[in-house]
Structure 1
């Protein structure tokens, strides 16, 4: 009965959101299961009902965030062409929107510096980048681009939008607040295609 009450009161989603925020603002090593529980107003024991250890909690955050981003990218890939935006432009805009509107998630996914934690992110970063690259390559005309360009252009586009997000994420602005700058950046990048 007590476990059921804890499960109903303290959801997995609430724990993930609080832990995500604490990991980004204070650092993974500075946060304990006890401090996450205190932040939520619960004992740390109630967290163990959902997660066996802090590393499992961190990995759940990473997986959830990359799954969400890959879902958004897959939607772009499968969506019909639109006259005002080509697929690559939509891809870059959606990536920027995700990064700025989910700043804490983006920082954990792509900007974390801790080597131990990077091991949790590398495979997911590669999965996300491969989907991103496949969308860019589908849009590229193979008769106009070399084989080398088919590999370097997606990476250059990714690095350019990552730099854009990294620059604006420091100010905690939303996508809507800098939408004109994002659109201008994307249009400039896509001129190479």
Structure 2
């Protein structure tokens, strides 16, 4: 029984990995449970053991990717920032790094515009922003930042890093290739928040 449970868990992961690749390369509407099964070398019926429908499979992928990003962001709260960076800047860099190192996941999470699937992303996007907002506010409070009570500051920072990722993601550049630009960008975002108070 335990062995069977492990095999089932591994099978679920394989299905999700294959489906993520197909959603990105062929689009949500361009694939079916049958085509995912064919890609994996299984009958599509075996996929229904894990997922009742394509929408449920897509949502499982979205949740998994947002959970991965959340873990990375939470780790920033548990370690000291790199030399020359505030914790706020380190968090923004971690977010940018995720977007550039996992472009397919980021596109599914934040950039797909298919109305049929947007509903599956909206709730997770809101949770992600709430987490980002909470962590940023905590860091601003630690720093006794003059804008710690400004409700629009975390959103402005979030939109600033999303714009950066959206611009560079199309060229499929790695984080290492553009890390100097990323550091300069988060420093501008961070320093702008101080200038707003003067």
Q: Same fold (TM over 0.5)?
A: yes
What are the superposed Cα offsets for residues 69-105 of structure 1, whole Å, 9 maximum, x if unpaired? 1111111123345543211111111000111111111
Q: Which runs of 5+ in 2 are unaligned?
A: 194-198
Give 5+ residue unaligned stretches, structure 1.
none
RMSD of aligned alpha carbons: 2.3
Could you list the per-position Cα deviations for residues 54-83 of structure 1 after superposition, in whole angstroms to 9, with x for gaps in the alignment? 111011101101111111111112334554
Which runs of structure 1 show a deviation greater than 6 angstroms over 4 or more consecutive aligned residues? none
Deviation at 1:138, TM superposition (A): 2.4
Work out the number of aligned pairs and report it. Answer: 187
Cα distance change on mapping 1:139 and 1:41 into 2, 3 Å: same
- After TM superposition, the score normalised by the length of structure 1 is 0.87
| Counterpart for residue 137 of structure 2 | 137
Task: Give the Cα separation in 2 of the matches to 1:155 and 1:52.
Answer: 36
Contact map agreement 1:87 1:135 (CA 8 A) in 2:
no
CA shift for structure 1 position 127: 0.9
The separation in 2 between residues aligned to 1:17 and 1:171, in whole angstroms, is: 23
CA pair 54-173 structure 1, distance change in 2 beyond 3 A: same
The normalised TM-score by structure 2 is: 0.85
Task: Quote the residue 1:84 is aligned against.
Answer: 84
Q: Does 2:36 match 1:36?
A: yes
SS in 1 for 2:17: helix
